[in-house]
Structure 1
Amino acid sequence: MNDLSVRDAAFRGRFLLAAGAWTVLVTAVLVAVPLWFRDRLPDPLAAHWGPSGEPDGTMPFTVFVCVALLWVVLAGACLGAAAGGRAVNRRAARRWITAGLGWGAAFILGLQILTIGANMDRRRWEDAASLGWQAAIVIAVAFLAGWLGWLAGRPGPDERPAAAEATPPALVLSPGERPVWVSSVSSPVAVGLALAALAAAVSLAACALFGLPAELWIGAGVFAVVGLAGLWLSSVRVKVSPEGLTVSYGPLRWPSRSVPLAKLDRAWTERRAPADVGGWGYRGLPGQSTIMIRGGECLVVRYTSGGELGISVDDAAQGAALLNALVASGVAS
């Protein structure tokens, strides 16, 4: 093991130790604070507030303490991403992990503080204080904590994902030949979740139509947006032709984005994981964007302006080779 590998391994160990300590500390606070004020809280507590700001839902005290499990699940996912592979040694992936740990801790702690404060020294949950604008403060503080976490993830190594094939196989095009390469990839899990969300939207809308609370329309709208967005991000098709690069989204292949050859510099393949780019879907970073449908081989294109676009798609090496041949023949002409 060379000196660089030793330093990277040492940094990874320190990062996991710090993230684990943060997880334990926040978990301890989430459990200890409700127990500390146990004698000053009603059981059940007011745990939900309606549009008017008045409490309209309850939660047993024991369940309220167990809300800490939500943080454990979120932090566990972040720690799992950090422990698996080499995400910690890649700055972009590391910053998403630290941002998630900061945002999640601030958001869940903020909700707990609001709930305890509203229920403090109340004999019944119906007597809990009204809440409204305070929720906006919790959201703002959570995003601030996420931003601080993003900054905290910057120091350290920045290992670039290894290229699966830095130099794609060379192609020689015959005069007058108009080759076309088309490939696509989809995520069955994303499709299933999107269809489930759309089914929930239809169910809630039907309940609202048959006389149940009108607020169900809000839930129906949220599930509809989530379902449609999920379908849109569930698949992608890439086409390389003499006209350039065309990327189409979703089952309907719409919307579609085309980039002419004149704006393309070169192409190659890389192996990328969701942790490297910040998750699934369309992920944008300064100068580098990735359409991540599944982890593994990606077609990476560099624009003449210097920016890069990566797309998780099958048979990426063949697409990169054809794109490079087309760009070369266009320049030559």
Structure 2
Amino acid sequence: MTDPYDSSPTDVRARLMVAIAGWAVLVAAVLVAVPLAFADRLPDPLATHWGSSDGPDGSMPFTAFMILLIGMWAVLAVIGLGVAARRRNLARRVTRAWFCAGLAWAGGFMVTTQAVTIGANLDRGHWTRAEDVGWQVAVVLAAPIALGALGWLAGRPGPDVPAASAETGPLIDLDPGKRPVWVSTTTARWAAGLALVSLAAAVVIAGVAVTGRFPGGWGGVVPLALVGVIGTVLSSVSVRVVPEALTVSVGPLRWPSRRVRLERVERAWVEERYPAQVGGWGFRGLPGRATIMIRGGECLVVRYVSGGELAITVDDAATGAALVNALVARRHSAAGR
């Protein structure tokens, strides 16, 4: 019999691409077809938010509701296809399983959210008379989790490429008469573009909402502005190494920043990491083993004396690692005299 876990990485990636594309089309078709099928039985605007008393307290135009869900799903689907297309992204079984679980969960959440919203508004005449939601919330929570579990199982077949063990990091010679400094900055154009578009959209929607022509628009201003701020912070990362410490700063203002004294560092090396391997973009992981991920590829990885690790996606990481190792070695040599 053929072991389902023994397929080649190329075959697995091809099957994943087909499966993700099929799932993307299926969810998109549901998000478009269902509201259109019931359009003549729905009020416009729709009730889209329920307060603590379970009664509706927020609304959104029918068209805006459709565009919001379809647009969010389109972005997720495109990102999913892009991640799956990279050969190294899903080489590990655990990464592949959680990636598929996340995509399945996201599609299920979109569909169940739409279904509950349409069901509550169906034949109600006006959004203020929409049905209260109670047990439906449990469906929105449970159904995506069940789909996520199926996605996790679907992502497990195929080879499992073990994580490469960290090799001894590079080392360079230091001139004892000079103070070495290394600075490198990496910019994520996708984050900067997303931030610009989100902030512009927030301003436009707020302007239209002020005129009263888009009464439900205020509900989208805060999320868009938040995405804009987060995108700005994630648009760049800068690393600076001096004899005393390594400093990591994010965003165009180089804030917030994190300073790691070199006396806490054991060694450094270069490693390739991708968003799918660490759980996405941004600051990923837990204290003691974290990754600052703004683009896939070359990372500067620093291991602490305590055993923890910090990885930063930055250009020319080899030079930074070499300097860190040289400074650590010089510190140890000085301490041993």
5+ long unaligned stretches in structure 2 = 50-54
Per-residue CA distance 1:237-296 (angstroms, 9 max, x = gap): 101111121101111111110111122111111222333323322222685322222222
Q: What amino acid maps onto 2:161 in structure 1?
A: E
**d(CA) in 2 for partners of 1:263 and 1:127?**
59
Q: Does 1:107 align with 2:109?
A: yes
Q: Is the 8 A contact 2:56 2:127 kept in 1?
A: no
1:141-180 maps to which residues of 2 (within 5 A)?
141=142, 144-145=145-146, 148=149, 152=153, 158-160=160-162, 166-175=167-176, 177-180=178-181
- Say whether the 8 Å CA contact 1:102–1:145 is kept in structure 2: no
Taking structure 1 as reference, are residues 149 and 298 closer, same or farther at Cα in structure 2, changes over 3 Å only?
farther
C-alpha separation in 2, matches of 1:204 and 1:127: 23
Q: Confirm or deny that 1:12 pairs with 2:9.
A: no
Is this contact kept in 1: 2:113–2:140, CA < 8 A?
no
Q: For residues 133-181 of structure 1, give each alpha carbon's deviation from its aligned partner in whole angstroms, at most 9, with x where no partner exists.
A: 5664355336634763686457875435668x94554212233542111
Q: Please give the alpha-carbon distance, in whole angstroms, between the structure 2 residues aligned to 1:156 and 1:296.
A: 23
TM-score of the superposition, structure 2-length normalised? 0.74
Match of 2:46 in 1: 48
Question: Which deviates more from structure 2 when the two are superposed, residues 239-248 or residues 204-213?
Answer: 204-213
Contact 2:17-2:84 at 8 Å conserved across structures = no
SS at match of 1:88: coil
The answer (yes or no) to whether the contact 1:232–1:249 under 8 Å persists in 2 is: yes
Change (3 A) 1:224 1:135: farther
Contact kept, 8 Å, 2:124 with 2:130, in 1: the verdict is no
Q: Which amino acid aligns with 1:173?
A: L
* 1:195 CA drift (Å): 2.2
SS in 2 for 1:89: coil
**CA displacement, residues 73-107 of structure 1 (integer Å, 9 cap, x when unaligned):** 74564355334313332245314422222312321
Q: Relative to 1, partners in 2 of residues 1:231 and 1:56: Cα closer, same or farther, differing over 3 Å?
A: closer
Deviations 1:171-227 (A, max 9, x none): 122335421111111123322221222233333444455566675444333222221
Instruction: Flag the 1:307–1:48 CA change in 2: closer, same or farther, 3 A.
Output: farther
Contact 1:271 1:297 (8 Å CA) reproduced: yes
Aligned CA RMSD, in angstroms, stands at 4.3
Change (3 A) 1:123 1:12: same
After the TM superposition, which residues 142-221 of structure 1 pair with which residues of structure 2 at under 5 Å, given as runs?
144-145=145-146, 148=149, 152=153, 158-160=160-162, 166-175=167-176, 177-209=178-210, 216-221=217-222
Count of aligned positions: 321
Give, in angstroms, the shift of residue 42 of structure 1. 6.0
Q: How far off its partner does 1:307 sit?
A: 2.2
Counterpart of 2:227 in structure 1 is 226
Q: For 2:234 and 2:246, locate their aligned partners in 1 and report how far apart those are by CA, in whole Å.
A: 19
Q: Could you tell me how far apart the structure 2 residues matched to 1:187 and 1:331 are?
A: 36
CA distance in 2, matches of 1:309, 1:267: 10
Mapped partners of 2:93, 2:287: distance in 1 = 13
> 1 CA distance for matches of 2:298 and 2:32?
46
Measure the CA separation in 2 of the matches of 1:309 and 1:92.
21
SS of residue in 1 equivalent to 2:90: helix
User: Counterpart of 1:23?
Assistant: 23
Q: Structure 1 CA distance, aligned partners of 2:25 and 2:197?
A: 36
* Aligned position for 2:237: 236
AA in 2 matched with 1:305: S
Between the aligned residues of both structures, percent identity stands at: 46
Alignment of 1:1-333 (within 5 A): 7-9=7-9, 12=12, 16=16, 19=19, 23=23, 27=27, 30=30, 34=34, 41=38, 43=40, 45-46=42-43, 48-51=46-49, 53=56, 59=62, 74-75=76-77, 77-91=79-93, 93-115=95-117, 117-118=119-120, 122=123, 129-133=130-134, 136-141=137-142, 144-145=145-146, 148=149, 152=153, 158-160=160-162, 166-175=167-176, 177-209=178-210, 216-284=217-285, 288-332=289-333, 333=335
Cα 1:274/1:321, change in 2 over 3 Å: same
TM-score, normalised relative to structure 1: 0.75
Contact 1:106 1:141 in 2 (8 A): no
Cα shift at 1:30: 3.7
Residues in 2 aligned to 1:82 and 1:124: alpha-carbon distance in whole angstroms: 44
Decide which moves more: 215-224 or 300-309: 215-224
